[in-house]
Amino acid sequence: MHCVGMCGPFVLGQVMADAGRRGAGGYGEWRRLAGAALVPYHLGRLTTYTGLGTMAGGATALFASTAAFAWLSGCLLIAGAALMLAQAFGLALGAAAPQAGLVQHLAAPLTSSRHPAARYGLGVVLGFLPCGLIYGALGAAAGTGSMLHGTLGMAAFSLGTTPALVAVGWGGVLLRRRWQGTARWMAAPLLILTALLMLALASQRF
């Protein structure tokens, strides 16, 4: 639900650009739905998130055989849970973070292109957009102490955030507005539940 408000505008921008550049006769219902799915864009996001998960899990894997790893892993899970809670209460880092400007600068030339390669590149770049939800997921990925598990964890995160964004592409502005209203009462409890699960995992490490 959070992703609808955070990344929904990028999805809508691409979908509306496609619709505006096609003639009415060449933009049938099937092509509209297929185009609104934005598969290259989501594959780009998947690439970035899994790459980050690999690095996070790989970095902590160096300490997996040490006596201090249980404490390191637990602390990372707590940090991730804290970021999830901060996101739930609207306190997490967002577009105001320093690196957001660089990400948007890199993304700007890609938004004007409809080529699949450009859409894929846009997904890769926007995967680095500052977001407390991503930071929390990375904390969990790092807490696994495994490159494989970190990769799979962030792949699951990417796939889990995709359906809502595809729905925004299909439903357009109206659906995004409705989902934003739903997110006010639905997203926060889900984030809090996720944070509690991460804290439970952290307690096992300690």
Of residues 25 and 163, more confidence is placed in 163
**Residue 144: partners with Cβ closer than 8 Å, 6 or more residues away:** 57, 60, 73, 150, 153
Each domain of the chain, given as residue ranges in start order, spans: 52-93+131-205
CB–CB of 177/12 below 8 Å? Answer: no
List, for residues 140-177, the tens digit of each pLDDT value. 999 888 999 999 999 999 999 898 888 877 776 555 55
DSSP secondary structure, 31-53, as one string: HHHHHHH-HHHHHHHHHHHHHHH
Q: Is the dihedral angle over the CA atoms 53, 153, 88, 164 positive or is it negative?
A: positive
